[in-house]
Each structure stands twice: as C-alpha cells, then as structure tokens.
Structure 1
Amino acid sequence: MAKIATHKDLRVYQAAFMAAMDIYKLSKSFPVEEKFSLTDQIRRSSRSVCANLAEAFRKRRYPKNFVSKLSDCEAEAAETHVWLDFALACEYVTIEDYEKLYKEYDMILGMLVKMIVEPEKWNL
C-alpha cells in the first residue's frame, strides 16, 4: 500500500474529486434558469465531499472529530445522489451519464462508510 501523506493520496478523495469534475463538466450544459438552483447545488455538494475529506484527514488523530467530518462527507455524497435524480428527471442528463455518476457516488459512499466504521485504521 502506498504511503498516505495528504488527503490527496486517499483513493476516496481521488474518486470524489474526479466525480466532482465530471459533474462540473456535465452541469455546464444545464439550462441557464437552473444556475442558482440545481447547477449550483450539485456542484456544491459534489465539491463539499472533497473539502470535508481534507478536513477529516487533518482531524484523524481525534476519532470523534474524524468520524464527524466523514459523516459530513457521506451526507454530501448522498445529497449529490438526490441532485443527480433531479437532473435525470428534468432530462438534463442522459441515463448513461446518470448511471455512471450514481455508481461512482455509490462507490464513494461505500469507501466513506468503511472509514467511518474503522476510524482507528486512519490514525497514521
């Protein structure tokens, strides 16, 4: 296993960052009337997963704080699922793009839950 020196070395961070960038690119095509609603919300929640992971990594010596920030990540990833549901229902994304991103966030959620259940493994 490679040494984890910063939050950027975490596979979950890398996956969340790539997914957030995919959402950014995809949301560029959303209608202009969605700019301050769906577009803004899906970008914020997807990016927040990454930001909260960075904070969690810095708090890993304190298990309760670490788990709390990871729980925030989990909530933001779940929120991103909801915004993806809306994007599909409004026909702003294809079913293929929706399923790809939804699965990516399922994987991210799984990794976050594993970290939450075993916080002691991350006190490097």
Structure 2
Amino acid sequence: MTKNRLEEYKSKKDEIRELQQKLDNLGKGDSLIGNDTILDYQTGYPRPQSIVGYDYLKEQHLKNRWRRRLDELTSECMEVELWIENIPDSLTRRIFRMHYMDGKSQEEVAKAIHMSQSNVSRKLKII
C-alpha cells in the first residue's frame, strides 16, 4: 500500500457519495427533458415541428456509466479498507482508521488516542 493510494481513498469516498446522490436524483429535475425539431411532410411540403420529451436513452446511459464508476470506486476503497483492517498492531490500525477512513486530522487523532501529534505522524509514515 502506498501513501498516494491512501490519500486517494478520501477523494474516492467523496466521489462515491456524489455519484450515489446523482443516481438518487436522476430524473427528478428538468435535466433530461429535451426538445428536437422534425420535418412534417403531411401537406407534401416539409414543415418544421417541435417535439418535447423525456430522454430515456440518456437516462439509461448515465445510470450505467455512473453505476460502473461507482462499482470501480467501491472495489478500490474496499481494498484500502481491508488493508487497514489487516494491520496487526491495534494502535496503528486505529490511527490509520481514524485518519484515512474517518477523515480526521493528525491533531484530532492524537487527541482521541491521547498521544502527541508527532507520534501519530510517525505511525502514519510506516508505509
């Protein structure tokens, strides 16, 4: 596990929340209502006609794309969480969990486990 991958974990968790919110709210607004123009030949001559409707294909495309990305992010986050949970030392595991999974700063972690911030920083540098 690399430091960079652990740092990306926080951003990926935020992206998961954003995608889930987008999926939950898809179709609730006017974003998928569109209009188009067709030519009507009923009189023998082309007359432009406006058509307004809901874009079901775009909705399905967005759902599929966002679900695929959501599955990828969830899988990557699960790998990081599993790695953190498999840290053998209890104190180090708690520090990693609080800092990366719960999003606490080093100072907040230090207060929670009654250590100095510099000791927390040293524990986080073991990777």
Give the TM-score taking structure 2 as reference length: 0.34
Give the TM-score taking structure 1 as reference length: 0.35
Which structure has more relative contact order (CA 8 Å, sep 6+)? It is: 1
Structure number with higher strand proportion: 2
